[in-house]
Amino acid sequence: MTARTKAATVPGFLVAHYRDFLLYGLFLGAVAWFIASGEQGMGYHWKWYRMPRYLVQITEDGWVLGPLLQGLLVTFKISGLSLILAMIFGLTAAIFRLSDSFTARLVAKGYIEFIRNTPLLTQIFFIYYVIGPIFGLGAFGSAVLALSLFEGAYASEIFRAGIVSIHKGQWEAAHSLGLSRLDTYRKVIVPQAVRRILPPLTGVGVTLIKDSSLASTIAIYELTQQGNIVSSDTFMVFEVWFTVAAIYLAVTFPLSMFVTELGKRMRTAE
């Protein structure tokens, strides 16, 4: 049932779903009661009026980003860099897995299985404390490397699915023209595959933004870590974490909607 048909039959819809509406109302009431009782029970006083300064501050130089939005910028920076690297790792691993070479397949398979069967937090610590010092990689570099290796393993599955979905006639045409395997990937297969897998690939971006919060554990001042600092400085635990969650949501929700919409369009286009 689409949004449009719902709107066209509002009264009928209300009648048919009155129970859902009732439950929804009850649920909202319960949440409000829970928060309110928390406030009274713990003697908590909402200080929302103090929150804006942690988002933006006005100084004599004009507008300056507060710590939370500065954290968001760092989150963007980590996620963006990791996304680029994750695409490179993912595509390479996918091509290795589809290669004729046994060694290449083994390397890719080992990478993917290792990443998928160990916790991301462990990987971050491993890279920060073990690999990082060896290669002179700081906290930021470690976080980017860990996140991109992690998301790259998942992206490789997406790339692989996209690549094998390309009709084998495309390979055969390229073969009969004398194109090398690399050129066939570069010019023929990947450009077509990417169009098909754009929705799940954007999904990797959403996951990356969320997972980048784990970088807070190795002293990166991204959004979650800034939330940590502000909340322990001010004791405005509720306000800060509501705000932080809202900021994540404001970034990822539109992206997710975009992914869903893109997926629908692609399906109808084919």
Binding mask 113-152 for another protein (x = CB under 8 A): ----------------------------------------
Assess 165 for contact with another protein (CB under 8 A): no
Name the one range near another protein by CB under 8 A: 16-24, 69-77, 102-110, 179-187: 179-187
Give CA–CA dist 244/190, Å, rounded: 37
Which lies closer to another protein via its Cβ, residue 109 or residue 175? 175
Give residues 57-96 in contact with another protein (rule: CB under 8 A): none
From the list 131, 188, 237, 255, which residue makes contact with another protein (rule: CB under 8 A)? 188
Q: Out of 177, 219, 246, 249, which residue is the one contacting another protein (CB under 8 A)?
A: 177
- Judged by CB under 8 A, how many residues of this single chain contact another protein? 17
Residues 6+ apart with CB under 8 A from 190: 91, 163
Site string for another protein, 190-219 (x = CB under 8 A): -xx--x------------------------
- Residues in contact with another protein by the rule CB under 8 A: 167, 169-170, 172-173, 175-180, 183, 187-188, 191-192, 195
